[in-house]
Amino acid sequence: MAAIVYITIRSTTYYTQRVQWANNQLEAVTALTVNANRYSEQIAEFLLIGEPERPDYESARAELEAGFEKLAELTRGEAEFLLGSSKQEEGGDEIFRITRMRTLYGEIAKATSDAINLRNQGRQEDAVRIFRRDIENRFDAEFENILEAARRDEEEEVVRTELQAEALWRRLTWMTAALALAAVVLCFVAAFLLARSLMRPISLLTEGTEAISRGDLDHRIAFDGRDELGALAKRFNEMATHQQDQRDRLLNAKAELEQQVATRTAELAAANQRLTELDRLRVQFLADISHELRSTDGASR
């Protein structure tokens, strides 16, 4: 999405600048057409009226030359802007067209100078003939045609650029929608994979706790992941091993205690048997002594 935003900004800036360049050139060509017509009219008035029209003639020529310079500057700027792009050739065509207009303007200016000289010499008809042949006709037949072609090209460029911008916007819109849909799908897939990756270790941990609660200390969790759940499973197995060791030690201690109790019980039983035997011998001994005493006492009587 960040890439789409970046491309959108770059493309919008590019096409906005292209439309701006084309509009500026279109305005310059339109102004140049107006200045060319005014210049042609001022030449005719200067030839007909004479010196009183010189200021207007000079002003019209200066405006026309300024228009040439402005159009040339805009064309060079656009050529630099299009440098390295597929539209660079269009800038070269416009520069060639301006060069051709400048050349034609120079020829018309020379013909104008010749016509003025003829008028100053009193050869009015020759001056008018040069004006119609080399100035008016060339303005109408060549200069205005070049200007019209330039104007038409700039209008077509504006329309073409706007259409390209609209097409790009449509593509970017579809791409954005597709990426958004892909992002949603990826989120669901990632959530599913995450849930599945969590369910297995959680299930193993649950089984382990249930086994430990049943007293099955031999149970171990078969999960060796590198994440927190893996660390928990490792600690769980270590705890189970420790508990098993403690249980084994307790069982061994119990067995030893039982063995000791059994031994002591046997010893006590043997001692008790000896005491019983000694008591029997004592009783029998006393009985024998009593019998002997009674026998002796009877004999003495």
The domain of 95 spans 2-186
**Is the predicted pLDDT of residue 91 greater than 60, yes or no?**
no
Please report whether residue 149 resides in a domain: yes
How large a percentage of the chain has pLDDT more than 90? 1
223 pLDDT tier (thresholds 50, 70, 90): low
Residue 119 lies in a domain: yes
Q: What total number of domains does the chain contain?
A: 1
CATH number of the domain enclosing 86: 1.20.120.1730
99-129 CB burial, b ≥16 within 10 A, e <16: eebeeebeebbebbebbbebbeeeeeeebbe
pTM for the complete prediction?
0.51
Looking at the domain assignment, is residue 166 inside a domain?
yes
What is the reported pLDDT for 301? 57
Residue 153 lies in a domain: yes
The answer, yes or no, to whether residue 124 has pLDDT greater than 80, is no
Region 138-167: mean pLDDT is 76
pLDDT, tens digit, 9 for 90 and up, residues 229-271: 677 777 777 777 777 777 778 878 888 888 888 888 888 888 8
Q: Which among 199, 52, 46 is positioned nearest to 128, based on CA atoms?
A: 46
pLDDT of 87 strictly over 60: no
